[in-house]
Structure 1
Amino acid sequence: MKHMQKIIAACASLAMLALSGCGTSVGASNVPVVPTKGEVTIRLNWWGGDSRVKNTEQVVKAFEKEHPNIHVQTEYSDWTGYWDKLAVQSAGGNAPDVMQMDELYLSFYGGMNALLDLNKAKKYLDLSNIDSSLLDMGKLDGEQVAVPLSTAQYGVIVNNDVLDTLGLKLPENADSWTWDEFEDFAKKVADASNGKIVGAIAPNNGYALQLWARQHGERLFKGDTVAISPGTLAKFLQMPADWVDNGIEVSKETWSENVTASLNDSAFGKGQQAMMLTQASQITPYAQAAGTSNMTLLPVPQVKPGAKTNYLKPGMYWCISSGSEHPAEAAMLVNYLLNNEKAGKILGTERGIPANNDIRKNLSTSATGTDKRSLDFVDKIESTIGKAPGITPNGASDLDSLIVRYQQDVVFGKQKPLAAAKAMISELQESIDFNS
């Protein structure tokens, strides 16, 4: 991928900078974290669409009004363009003061000494309203190099209109069902529709695989090592093939189309699928696509219902460049984006469920429909939330596409599940080793 090539090139450049005198400790910075007297200009960079641009710029204007000496230059791109640009900027020593970050790339930028240790800015940045387990997923080598701005929880979105049309009702234990119970109900959907409605699509991303490993008493990663066993991974890769065979996913072709489809073009987005295993915050976009708000959010199935195998995954982070000349002002901006009630109302849930618990609860009091269900879902699964895993190691940023590729091999009979699992582990480990 083009942006990955640029990131690899940036890695070499950043490494040379570190060796030439910038130091190698995570979060290091020689600039004192104190406000600058007089006028200050800082840069804020993020990825996202038009609504995110509009909302963020509105919050920035409100921040500038409260801090008239601080001027914020905004920059934004689409997903791919963002990482292309950030890699080049970072390699050239011109990174934005405040940047939006994704968990897949945090290890890379943090490990290359590109991000400020936010503990140095704690006088200007309050992190007390964010769950400690969520904050831990912004740490690298014990340093808080990123602060989650939103949280994601994996769950099951149910289109009740589809169930009503088929004369079906959710099982009474759907709030705490096993995988076998979930599959049985998904098959009932497919059977009742004579194969016209997809029951569900098997999970196919890194978040789901993390949960799958935890439910089986394992970890996906242990530091820079792929720790999941081939047997446990093989079951995960086999799942979509099994669901094709028993009719839950209708056919191989239907499964393949849905895996690569956009939200609006997916079977669930078109109202042709009963249940969707995905992040809970997706309920409103899917409801809008399907044309119904008659949707329910349920916990993800577990091997042992009630076990503390879930965790709060950061949807996105805010980070401050270790090369910022104005880290105190950058921290003030991050603090405003995270903690200001007015900012919270403007930003809403567009970037995901707010990581700040007070902001989330305040939004919930006035929210309705699917928005309220997504905001309250954190409380619904609270009893099953355990200690968060470490962040994805550098070199594993293509995990999602890797999972889909090996699932495709199994679904279309190119590889047996165990052989595919061993090959995937080997490929993933090789990538991590190459980038470490």
Structure 2
Amino acid sequence: MTDAQRAATTAADGRRPRRGPRAALAAATALPVLAACGVGAEPVHHPELSDGEVTISFAWWGADARTQQTLEAIELFEREHPNIEVDPQYSDWVGYWDRLATTTAAGDMPDVTQFDQLYLASYADRGALLDLATVSNILDPSALGEDILESGRVGGDLYALATGATTNGILINTTLFERYGVELPDTADWTWEEFERVAVELTEASDGEVHGVSPFGIDTFSLTVWARQHGGNLFDDEGNLILDADVLAGYWQRVRDFVASGAAPSVPHISESIGLPLDQTPMVTGETALGFIPAGQFIAFQAAGPEFDYALADWPTDEDAPEGFQYLKPSMYWAAASTTEHPAEAALLIDFLVNDTRVADIFGLDRGEPGNPAFREAMRDSLDEPGQESLAFTEAMAEEVGDTPPITPNGASDVDLVLQRHFLDMLHGDASPREAAEGFLGELNDSITAAS
């Protein structure tokens, strides 16, 4: 998940203090570590629903809008199943994984959880997640399609169902380009040279009041797209780290080039922008006009910056970029605890969340473009203009994407934090792009090896 994603999923009251990137890293890396031993119980195959009163816990991360949507869905589920009470548990991104690690280690993981691919293999390999094949008498995931289902498998077993998926895209503040009279190239087929050129032109046209681009560099989603543009990937199917140091060095050198040319803001400005809440990010405040985002966040950006008009575009390329470098990244997942005392009811809730089209009307695109096609059709007419644009972009990109890469392996759940730390070393000149790349790869490989 990118920093913009984390920022968009602040606590329900929406308040979060501003803090520097190094302080944020220190807080995030202080999360409890899930115990290495298995934490699950022997699963009951094809459990039956209870006729008595049952309470199951349901945990998710997200901002207030997501929380209100989810509470509305819970209320609908409880009306349909009056003997089942759902105990809601929600927090911001960091607090969520902190609490989840603690409760899982204590054998008290919530019955149903919203999950992220960064942690899926880690929890599954430790036996914390329920094998969903054991509840196939209640949970029917077939509407999601094999590609979506494959993204929730670990070691061949299905542990989670993706809520939806999104590509990575370029967010464009078209208002700023119009204000300063800078013409965009054809974004359907633009090159990196054209991308940087218009970014520099915007910086110069605004006399530095606005910079052209908020650079990438600190999240594995955009890094994976960059690697695939250059014929590589982060991990292979066996969970090995296969990213070439030269590819990563080139990724970060591009950031340095943006800063040097004036396309991007200064190093201190970039550094201070990391970890800001979404409504304080440069793309929302109008300090930059181009940014790299998961396309599913388009609605959140448009809502946070109503005085601007935004558009979405595919990444620029070089002429030798392979087709299919973009991919549909699972937005998040639904999973159940292997320790649940009520696997049938937990499965029933997940089935409701992925198959009942009334949920589509409630959630909209908040959790990404739905993996269930029936959900997309159910919500299509009710989406506002930004929602329609976001859905249209993702559907168009779905025709061009390549295979979904392997999920983050066990031992690499902190990959974004490690990436950000070495990015900051590079950005501040404490390491060259090549040195920072080698440091990142060495540290991450050691972590994966230690967990195997």
Task: Please indicate, yes or no, whether the TM-score normalized by the shorter chain is above 0.5.
Answer: yes
- Displacement of 1:137 in angstroms is 1.5
- Displacement of 1:259 in angstroms is 3.0
- Displacement of 1:2 in angstroms is 6.2
Deviation per CA, 1:255-288: give whole Å up to 9, x if none: 2233343322222111221111111122222223
Deviation per CA, 1:229-257: give whole Å up to 9, x if none: 11111101212111000110132222223
Counterpart in the other structure of 2:230: 216
* Structure 2 residue ranges without an equivalent (≥5): 1-25
- 1:274 correspondence with 2:299: no
Partner residue of 1:166 out of 180, 199, 202 = 180
- Displacement of 1:116 in angstroms is 1.3
- 1:152 correspondence with 2:152: no
Partner residue of 1:143 out of 151, 157, 174 = 157
8 Å contact kept, 1:339–1:356: yes
Counterpart in the other structure of 1:254: 269
User: Distance between the aligned counterparts of 2:136 and 2:312, measured in 1?
Assistant: 36
Residues 198, 234 of structure 1: alpha-carbon distance in 2 compared, 3 angstrom cutoff? same
8 Å contact kept, 1:309–1:385: yes
Counterpart in the other structure of 1:416: 432
Counterpart in the other structure of 2:35: 11
- 1:283 correspondence with 2:298: yes
Poorly superposed stretches of 4+, deviation over 4 Å: 1-6
8 Å contact kept, 1:157–1:275: yes
Q: What secondary structure does 1:232 align onto? A: helix
Deviation per CA, 1:291-320: give whole Å up to 9, x if none: 335211111223456711111111111101
User: Distance between the aligned counterparts of 1:356 and 1:238, measured in 2?
Assistant: 39
User: Distance between the aligned counterparts of 1:413 and 1:233, measured in 2?
Assistant: 16
Counterpart in the other structure of 2:209: 196
Would you say how many aligned residue pairs link Structure 1 and Structure 2?
Answer: 424
- Displacement of 1:3 in angstroms is 6.7
8 Å contact kept, 1:153–1:313: yes
Counterpart in the other structure of 1:25: none
Deviation per CA, 1:182-221: give whole Å up to 9, x if none: 2222222223223221111221211011111111111101
Correspondence list, 1:369-408, <5 A: 369-408=385-424
Residues 3, 254 of structure 1: alpha-carbon distance in 2 compared, 3 angstrom cutoff? closer
- 1:226 correspondence with 2:250: no
Counterpart in the other structure of 2:188: 175
Structure 1 range deviating more: 153-162 or 282-291: 282-291
Q: What secondary structure does 2:171 align onto? A: strand
Percent of aligned pairs with the same amino acid = 34
Q: What secondary structure does 1:151 align onto? A: strand
Deviation per CA, 1:121-163: give whole Å up to 9, x if none: 2332232332432322211001110111132321011111101
- Displacement of 1:32 in angstroms is 3.9
Partner residue of 2:108 out of 94, 113, 128 = 94
- 1:435 correspondence with 2:435: no
8 Å contact kept, 2:163–2:332: yes
Structure 1 range deviating more: 363-372 or 199-208: 363-372
- 1:124 correspondence with 2:148: no
Deviation per CA, 1:54-84: give whole Å up to 9, x if none: 2212111111111222222222222222222
User: Distance between the aligned counterparts of 2:423 and 2:102, measured in 1?
Assistant: 34
- 1:43 correspondence with 2:67: no
User: Distance between the aligned counterparts of 2:126 and 2:32, measured in 1?
Assistant: 11
Aligned residue identity for 1:115: L
User: Distance between the aligned counterparts of 1:305 and 1:418, measured in 2?
Assistant: 22
Deviation per CA, 1:36-57: give whole Å up to 9, x if none: 3333222211122322222212
Deviation per CA, 1:388-416: give whole Å up to 9, x if none: 11111122222223223222222322212
Given the two structures, how large is their TM-score scaled by the length of structure 2? 0.88
Counterpart in the other structure of 2:13: none
Aligned residue identity for 1:166: Y
Aligned residue identity for 1:379: E
User: Distance between the aligned counterparts of 1:68 and 1:61, measured in 2?
Assistant: 10
* Structure 1 residue ranges without an equivalent (≥5): 23-27
8 Å contact kept, 2:45–2:134: no
User: Distance between the aligned counterparts of 2:363 and 2:45, measured in 1?
Assistant: 31
Given the two structures, how large is their TM-score scaled by the length of structure 1? 0.91
- Displacement of 1:31 in angstroms is 5.3
- Calculate the aligned-residue CA RMSD, in Å: 2.1
